[in-house]
Structures are given as C-alpha cells and as structure tokens.
Structure 1
Amino acid sequence: MALRDEHQQQVHELTKNHRQRRRSAERHPVWDFMFSYYPVSPGKLSHWHPGAGTWLDMEDTGEKAKVASEEKQHLLPHYKDHYVQRGAAWGLDLQRHWDDREKSISYMHRLLSLTKQRPPQLGCFGLHEWAMVYRDTPRHPEPLRLGAEGTNQVVENSQLKCTHIDAFRFFTPQAAPRNELRPTRETQTELEQPGCLHATMDVYKWATKLGPLLPGELWLRTFALACDVRVLDMEVSPYDLQEWGFAPVKIEEPAGRAEYVRRQQELMRRGQALRGEILDILEEAFPHLRAPSS
C-alpha cells in the first residue's frame, strides 16, 4: 500500500534524530517533550490508517491472500476489532467504532468545534512558561535567560491571561493567583480558544485520540504543526536555549511581543484549518454530530 509506505517513510525521517538520541541516552530540552508529554513513540506514529470511509481493495493491493493469515496485523491497518473485511475490501466499521467510543468522539468533536468558533486571544505573549518558574525552582536545568529576579519582574510587570488547563496546572503557587482565569478540566470546553499555543499544539493530541477515523497524512500534519508550535513555545520561554540552536523571542521588549503575535497568528491559522478538516471528517462519518441548521 503506497500511502502506508509513504507514511512510514515520513515518520522515519521526522523521528530520525529523536531515535538516534534515544539510542545514545541523550536528552533534548525541546524535542523530548514531543514524545513524553504526548505519549506517542515513533513506532506508534508509524501506524497508518486510511481514514473513515476509505476501504482498501485487497485485490488491488495484492494482499488479499494474506488477509486471513497470521501476518494480517502487520500488513493492514488494525484497531482492536473495528476493522472488518467485506468481500475484497478492508475498512473501519463506523457503527461499531461509534458504539465503542461515542463518549470520547462526541467530546472531542464538541471541544474542537467550540474552539474553532471562539474568537482568539492574542495578548498572552507566551507567559505560561514564565509563570511555571515564578518565584520557585525552574523545572528544567537550562539557565534562565534573565536570571531568577529578571524572570520574576517580567511576570510582575505583565498580565497573565492563560486559558489552557494543561499549561495553568503547572503554574507555581505564587503565579496561579496572578492569572485572570482559573482554568479547570471541567471548563476546558468553555475556555479553549484558537490563539492559545497549547490548544493549537493539542490538535495533534486530539488527532491521535481519534486514531483510525483520520487518514495518516492528516495525523502527520498535526504532528508537524505541534513541532512548530513547540519551537515558538520554547523560544518565547524564559530559558536560554541558544546553545541548542533556538534564538529567544524577547517578549519583555515591544519587538519581541510583536514577533510572538505574528508567529502565534500563523500557527493559529494552520490549527484552525486542521480543526476544520477533522470536524469535516467526523461529521461525514457521523452526520448526527452536525449542528442543526437554523
């Protein structure tokens, strides 16, 4: 299957450096996050799916004779018992998949839909990483670019406007009360907004959880976007990462804040487009998810 082979080759290239570091037990302050916070190994990322509604013709692929063999799971996309063979075709049984995952699919559809519709907030300036070290011990061994007191001053001279629970929950006890909001897991669908770097990065998380409903090439585009968000997330952070090849975005200065917003908007645009593609696929597969027309 050409698409599967292309997917696996792309993953091989995308994860090559990470796999080399892992073999040498080397850490990386930026890229390790992509395989630890998001628990998707390079091996798991290489698992390809054709996507909802796409059926593989086993006669065309030349693998029909192997479908019933013990090699089936290595040759064909597989997700628990939701893939079925119908004649010479192999594909996802959408009804069985919905029956098993209705609650989670409905939640992800609602979160992605509400986030896509909500107006963006572009005045956070990536201060969440600063709030994670405010008047406390840094979480990473890299030095603080402005030192401890300089970092504290930037936080105290700014307004913390974080809307994302998975950033806010790492704020120091001294920083949390300074935030305008108190995001919780229960309020995530109410607060998630498309300007948030972490919400944009998490499009990859939701694509991963949706698994076989999405074609592999779309999943890899969400991964690529998450990697690009990670770069800005760390370049705007208080850590000095220049020896790792990451130039700082100095949000303590007007030019740095302008650069941050410009890049934030471009990442948001890409995230919104991917949300739209995912929602289209979900609503095509499960039409009852569509909002009723007025």
Structure 2
Amino acid sequence: MRVLPEAEWRARERAHAERMRAWTRPHQERRARGEKHPVLDFLFTYYSHRPAHLERWQPGIDVVLAGAARHFLDRPGFREVDGGVALDRGALTPARARTARFVLDLLTATAARSPRLSCFGLHEWAMVYRLPPERVRHAQLPLRLGTAGTDRVVESLDIRCGHYDAFRFFTAPARPRNALRPSRETQRDLEQPGCLHANMDLYKWAYKLDPFLPAELVGDCFALAVEIRELDMRASPYDLGELGYPPVRIETAEGRAEYARAQAEFTRRAAPLRERLIARCRDLLAPEDGDHAENN
C-alpha cells in the first residue's frame, strides 16, 4: 500500500477538479440555459458519467490517504486503515469484476490489431442517409452539401464501419452499404485501434470501473475523447462553421487524407491509455500476482 501525504493528495484532488471543470461547468451552464451543443453534449449524454462524478477525485486501489481524509468514508468502498483511508479491494463485487474482465478482453483484443484508417468518418453520414431533414439527429444544423449531396457521398464511397455503437444508428437504407455487420456479440472481434469511437470509448471503460481507477486516468481518457469528438463532427455532413469548427471535407481526396492523418495521431495517443487501462484491469482481477500498476 502506497501512502499519500495529505498535502500531495489534496493537491491532486484540486488539480483534477479544476481540469475537469473546464468542460463540466460550461456544460452545466448551457443546460441551465436550455442550450444544446451538438459536439460537446455527446460527452455528457451518450456517455452517462455525471459531471459531478467526473470532477470527483479518487486515488485508485492500494493507496492510503493520510491525514484528514474522512470525507472519503462517505463514498462506497472506502474504509479506515492503518495510517488513513483507502479503497477496499473487497468492494469489487462479482458484477464489477465481470465488467473489468470484459473491458480487459475487449481492450487486449483491440490493441493486438493493426489500425485501419480508411473509414473517413462515414458513420455520421450513414446516420442521415436518405432521411428527411426533420428526422436528422441534429436538425438545427444545416447539412454542408444538402440532403441530395450528402446521399451522393454515401453512395460514392465504401463504408466499412466495425463499431457496433456507431453502426446501430445507421439508417435502414445505409445498413446494407456497410461492408461489416457489427453486433454486440462480435464487438471483441471487430473493434480496432484506429476507430475514433473505440478510442473515445476508452473514457467509457474507465468510468465504468470508477472508483477503482485513479481519477487522473479517467480524466486523461475524457480529455482525449473531447478532441476525438471534435474531429468526428468536423468530418460529419453537418455545417458547424458558426460554432467555430472548420469542416474536414471527407467528400474530397484532400479531406480524406486530412482525416486519415488526424485519425493516425489519435490512434498513437490512445495506445498508452489503452495499455494503462489493460494494466489496471489485470491488477484488479489478479491482485495476488503482486506487481500492481503504477498509480498514475
């Protein structure tokens, strides 16, 4: 058990909360005004981790918080130990252990594959294919190329989306155009490290293991998901110019090359986060093996 002096853990607690509030506070202010943000709301609606929980700091397992840490005892899983307060490994219920096993298996399989960088964000286009304007998800936004132009892009490019949680939102006419048939059952077999949504989902897998992961790791996954979401929507058929998001014009060869370069960079940045999550899951599931992951 590593002991964190009070000054150290309090500094980390403050730093994490301040970092996350750069996103949580604007979201809460928009919500209070009844405003929607087609890019950033996704991080708080599709992903179900509450802003207050995202701001909340925790050290992860095998860490003793020295000093005045009794407020942690109000949270499930924390208990008093010699020298302070710590998260009890015994709080990992069988259901949470199954989640950790699923995450470990999925991320290990994903990490073992070569990235594929040729999807060009067409999943967003397939979600509006042949829809009347009033049924488009972000109906408040114009389509850059109009309805007919958007449909022509879908019909002119190959769609090869292997991420089930994107594919399930395809319109009925778009589904047969996808070269793959992802399902929840085939998720482990199809997810690959170049997929923007698989890399955004690192945040989901991190918060599903809360409070057993350090808050900084959850925060790192969230911060990357924010950036990936911006590319995801910039490459979409929507016109986000008034919100300050220049388009990535994947309907052109230059735009597809720009998208692939950005996708490759996110693939590179997601890899160490995926490895940190894998290490944490292994540590949770096999504590008797010793060598716990470094607390970061």
Is 1:107 the counterpart of 2:102? The answer is yes
Shift of 1:100: 5.0
TM-score normalised by structure 1 residue count: 0.89
SS at match of 2:137: coil
Is 1:76 the counterpart of 2:72? The answer is yes
TM-score normalised by structure 2 residue count: 0.88
1:119 to 114, 117, 135: 114
Shift of 1:41: 2.6
- RMSD of aligned residue pairs (Cα, Å): 1.8
What residue ranges of structure 2 are gaps of 5+ in the alignment?
A: 1-9, 290-296
What does 1:30-179 correspond to in 2, within 5 Å?
30-57=39-66, 61=67, 63=68, 67=70, 75-76=71-72, 79-80=75-76, 82-97=77-92, 99-137=94-132, 138-141=136-139, 142-179=141-178
Would you say the 8 A contact 1:236–1:260 is kept in 2?
Answer: yes
* CA offset digits 1:65-92 (Å, max 9, x no partner): xx3xxxxxxx227652x22221233212
Corresponding position of 1:250: 249
Shift of 1:111: 0.7
* CA offset digits 1:247-290 (Å, max 9, x no partner): 11011111100100000011111111100111122223433799
SS at match of 2:247: coil
| Identity over aligned pairs, percent | 46
Equivalent pairs, count: 276
Would you say the 8 A contact 2:64–2:83 is kept in 1?
Answer: no
Alpha-carbon distance in structure 2 between the residues aligned to 1:33 and 1:284: 31
Would you say the 8 A contact 1:145–1:238 is kept in 2?
Answer: yes
Q: 1:279 to 1:166 in 2, by over 3 A?
A: same
Alpha-carbon distance in structure 1 between the residues aligned to 2:217 and 2:154: 37
Shift of 1:99: 4.0
Would you say the 8 A contact 2:72–2:78 is kept in 1?
Answer: no
1:27 to 25, 36, 39: 36
Corresponding position of 2:262: 263
Alpha-carbon distance in structure 2 between the residues aligned to 1:100 and 1:56: 27
SS at match of 1:212: coil
Which letter does structure 2 place at the counterpart of 1:198? H
What residue ranges of structure 1 are gaps of 5+ in the alignment?
A: 68-74
Shift of 1:31: 1.0
